[in-house]
Every structure is written in C-alpha cells, then in structure tokens.
Amino acid sequence: MKALNRRKLITASAVLAIVGLAATAIPAQAAEVGVSSTQIKLGMTLPMTGTASLGYNKIPGAARAYFDYLNANGGINGRKVTLVVEDDRYVPTEAVAKTNKLILRDKVMALLAPLGTANVKAVASSVNPARRGVPVLFVNTGFSGFADKKKYPTTYTVLPSYVMEAKIMGEYIKENFAGKKIGLLYQDDDFGTDALAGFKSAGTNFTIKVPYASGSQSAAAAAGWITKFKAAEVDVVILFGVSSATSAMLGVAAQLKYAPQWMLGSVGGDATTIKLTGVPAGVLYNAIGFSPVPATTDMKDEYVKFFSDIYAKAVPGSPFDLNVLLGMNTAFMTAQALKAAGPRPTRKSLMAAIDSKGATFANSALVPAGYSKTSHVGLTGYWVGKYSPTGDLSPIGGTYVTYTTDSGSGPVVKSTYKRPAMPAKGLPN
C-alpha cells in the first residue's frame, strides 16, 4: 500500500513536471526568424561568470555599446539590433542548453561570437546550427578548424588562427633571432597544440617547451616556469597563453629580475589587461607583440578613437581593452553584414552578404579578411610591434608592419593591405 502510494506520487509528480514544462506556448513565426519590421535579434553565449569569464565578460557590453549607437542612429534600415546574451560558464553542456534556448525560444536570427573551442564544437554537433540554417557569425576562438566550410557550413571565423600566429612568430624569429635559444610557454590543450603545429610548419626549434594546464596559471606556477627557463638559459621566451598566464609570468619575472627577450602571443598580450594586474610597465618594455587590430591606446587610429569614445559613454569607468575593441569590431562587422543582406534580411542573404562582400567590410583590423564564396576564414594575419616604455604595444618605427599567412603550409608574407577607411559616423553604408 505504502509502496503503491509512493509510485503514484512519483508518477504524478513526473507527469505534472513535464506537463508544466510543456505549458509555455510556441510563439508565432515571422517572415524570417529573428527579423521583424522593427528589430533584428541576435544571440550570444559566453562565460559571464566563473573562472573563464574574466575579461571576456566585457564583450557583451562592448557589442551592445556599438549596437545601441547604431540603433540610436537609425539601426539597420529602421530595424533595431538587439543582442540576447546567455551565460554558459564555459561549460559545453550549458553552451548547448543556452544556444537551444536562443534558437528555439528566443528565435534569434543568428548566433554572434560564441566563445571557446569545446563549446562551439559541442553546439555544432548537438544543436547543429548548420542543419537549422542558423548563421554562427564570428566565433571567438582561434581554432582554425571552424573555417572548414564543409564541416561547419554556417560558421564564420574572425580571429586569425593560432596556427597563423605561430607561423608568423616563427618567421619573425627566423628574421631577427637566428641562432638564439628559444623557450616556449604554452597551454597544454588545443590552444597550445595548434601553436606547436604552426611553429613546426615555420621550422622553429625550441630549447625548452613548458606546458601549463589551463586554469593552473598563478604566481606560484610562474615561479616554476621561470626557474625552468632560467635553467635552460634561453634568450627569447614566447608566452603563447592566456592573459592570466602572461600576467603571472611577467609579474613574477619582475620580482625575480628575470628579463629575457619576451614575445607575447595576441591572446595574452593585451597591454591594458596586463598592466591592470599590477605588472610594471617597465617589464613589458621592448617585448615583441602581435595583434590583428591596432593598439587599444592608439588614439590616432580613427576606429580606436571612435570605438573608445562610444564605449566610454556606454560603460563609464570600464577600461578600453583588447576584448572591448574586438567585441565592438565584431559588432561593427555584423552591422555591415546585416546592411549588406538587403532590405529584407534573411539568414541566407546574411551569409551570402558575408560570402560576397565580407572581405571588403570596413573594420579596424590591419590585416585582410579571407571571406569568399569558398572560404569562411576571417582575418589572416598580424602586425608585429614592440611594447613602449609605458608598456603599450606600438608599431616598430611608427608604421604598422603586417604579415599574412594561412592555417596550412602556405608561406608567411609581408602584407601591403590597405584598410578601408571608416564609413561616415561609423555607420554601415
């Protein structure tokens, strides 16, 4: 009797729970999902809380700052661009659940700048935006695989790949540090293995390679890395890790008076972020750095000036760093893609617009984008600079020297790319 009651209760509660979940109705569909006469809805998943969120959680604010400016100036053909942001805590399970919500409940037109290789891969496999025809614009990872149009037909990369960066670093080492002993700090996951592949293709030989587990970067760990590099007596140390690894390394190096020739990868090389963690500017001085977009402190650059002005108004008091610049740049490119998608934008016309015109979209990057009918490759290179006495990455000799390459075995070449001028008022034309 008792057991039966319990069964009943369980069955009843199960049925109730599921019926309850089912009760919310499905909203009616518009002509194109996510596009109405007054708005265009986009969705973004990224870590807003948790250890992986530091720095990245500024991206939605940055993107919204630009979209708000755009909307205040007429939007896209009268439609306001709205961005729905979901916190995935950098967990693939959450990324899939939240992306499902964005696509199935919020009915967004496209996904914008989802972050993290494992997350984007899980979403591609489970949610399968490709089968649903949902564009995944400008994924926020340097994993080169996402540019594979066959595997990810609706996905567009934007950042140059880790492979490209390592190849360009290798080329720079060949030109400037031939015969020197080189050390490498890298993350012992795909971020690092992509880098190793790039260095291999560039023919760079390392005296010592120090891997670190993602999440283990701390001052104590950095003391260990430095001890290893010191013992190996290297001349050049490449830091191919995230910002927190670079900061820990440079901060401890200052304490231990360790000063090799530093070379910082772009992911962890943002001067604003590094200095905010208390690393003295002097440690950065003369380090070599790489970036696809101009230095965030370069107020002579029209894009940087424009973006930082908007951001300062939208999010007062928040430092204008690389994540903010990249976030706004992505929003800026998205606006142009939406505009180019025609008076009645659809998911198809949006992707067609990037395929045909994406390579000519105005944006702050100093290197060309590789979008075409056959390619979803984003930016294809970096400029090489040195950190100034105040610790800001600046072009060597005042002019930006850029290199471009691909994620395969193609050569590294000095680029003559001329960036398109910023459209009037920073609005898509």
Partner 1 sequence: MHKAKKESTHLPLFILGGVVLYFLSGMVDELRVYQGATIAVYVIAISSIILLTGYSGQVSLGHGALMAVGAYAAAVLRIEFNLPIILCFVAAVLAAAIGGALLGAAAARLSGPYLAGTTLALAIGLPSLANQFAILGGEQGLLFDVGFPPLALGEEFTQYKWFFWIAALAALISMWVIRNLLNSAYGRAWRAGRGNEVAAQLAGINTARSKVLAFTISAGIAGLAGALLAMTIGTVSPSAFPLALSFSLLTGAVLSGITTLGGVIIGAVVLVAIPEIADVVAHRLGSSESVTTNLPGLIVSGLLILTVLFVPNGPVEQHRARKAKHAAQHTSSKKKDKH
Partner 2 sequence: MQLLNTLLIGITAGSIYALMAIAFVLVWRSTRVVNFAQAGMALLSTYFGYEAVSRIGSFWVALPVAMIGGALFAALVELILMRLLVKHASSGPIAGVAPIIATLGLLGVIRSVISMIWGGQDLRIVAPISNNGFTINGSTLVFSPLKLLVLVVVAVLLILLTILFQKTNLGLALRASAHAPEIARLSGVRVDSVRTLGWALAGAAGAVAGLFQTVNGNGNFSPDSIEFSLLLVSGFIAAVIGGLDSLLGAVLGGLFLGITISFVLMYVSSGLFFIAPFIILLIVLFIRPQGIIGVKAGRRA
| Cα torsion angle, 266, 269, 271, 276, sign | positive
User: How many residues bind to partner 2 according to rule CB under 8 A?
Assistant: 41
280 binds, among partner 1, partner 2, none (CB under 5 to 8 A by kind): none
Residue 316 CA, chain-centre distance (Å), reads 23
421 binds, among partner 1, partner 2, none (CB under 5 to 8 A by kind): none
**Residue 72 burial by Cβ neighbours in a 10 Å radius (0-12, 13-18, 19+):** exposed
104 binds, among partner 2, partner 1, none (CB under 5 to 8 A by kind): partner 1
Taking the least distance from each CB to partner 2, the nearer of 15 and 219 is 219
Residues 257, 232: Cα–Cα separation, whole Å:
16
Stretch that binds partner 2, among 144-152, 154-162, 246-254, 281-289 (CB under 8 A): 246-254
255: contact with partner 2 by CB under 8 A:
yes
Site string for partner 2, 262-301 (x = CB under 8 A): --------------xxxx----------------------
Q: What stretch of H or E contains 138?
A: strand 136-139
Taking the least distance from each CB to partner 2, the nearer of 238 and 248 is 248
Residue 239 near residue 213, CB atoms below 8 Å: no
Taking the least distance from each CB to partner 2, the nearer of 276 and 352 is 276
Return the residue of 130, 223, 314, 352 that touches partner 2, per CB under 8 A: 223
Q: What stretch of H or E contains 164?
A: helix 162-176
Least Cβ distance, residue 263 to partner 2 (angstroms) = 19
**Residue 374 burial by Cβ neighbours in a 10 Å radius (0-12, 13-18, 19+):** exposed
Residues 343, 338: Cα–Cα separation, whole Å:
9
Q: Which amino acid is residue 418, in one-letter code? A: K
Residues 318, 391: Cα–Cα separation, whole Å:
19
193: contact with partner 2 by CB under 8 A:
no
Residue 376 near residue 156, CB atoms below 8 Å: yes
Within a 10 A sphere around the Cβ of 227, how many other Cβ atoms?
A: 13
Least Cβ distance, residue 95 to partner 1 (angstroms) = 8
Return the residue of 36, 49, 205, 372 that touches partner 2, per CB under 8 A: 49
Taking the least distance from each CB to partner 1, the nearer of 18 and 256 is 18
Please report, as ranges, the residues that interact with partner 1 according to CB under 8 A. 2-3, 5-7, 9-11, 13-15, 17-19, 21-22, 26, 48-49, 87, 89-93, 96-97, 100-101, 104-105, 116-119, 121-122, 124-126, 128, 143, 188-191, 193, 213-215
Taking the least distance from each CB to partner 2, the nearer of 149 and 181 is 181
Residues 132, 130: Cα–Cα separation, whole Å:
5
Q: Classify residue 411 by its DSSP letter.
A: P
Least Cβ distance, residue 87 to partner 1 (angstroms) = 5
Torsions phi, psi for 311 (to 5 deg): -65, -40
61: contact with partner 2 by CB under 8 A:
no
248: contact with partner 2 by CB under 8 A:
yes
Stretch that binds partner 2, among 9-17, 193-201, 227-235, 388-396 (CB under 8 A): 227-235
One-letter-per-residue 3-state SS of 79-137: EEEEEEEEECCCCHHHHHHHHHHHHHHCCCCEEECCECHHHHHHHHHHCCHHHHCCCEE
6: contact with partner 2 by CB under 8 A:
no
Residue 345 near residue 334, CB atoms below 8 Å: no
Return the residue of 149, 181, 228, 357 that touches partner 2, per CB under 8 A: 228
Binding site for partner 2 (CB under 8 A): 48-51, 53-54, 57, 188, 210-213, 215-221, 223-228, 230-231, 244, 247-248, 251-252, 254-258, 276-279
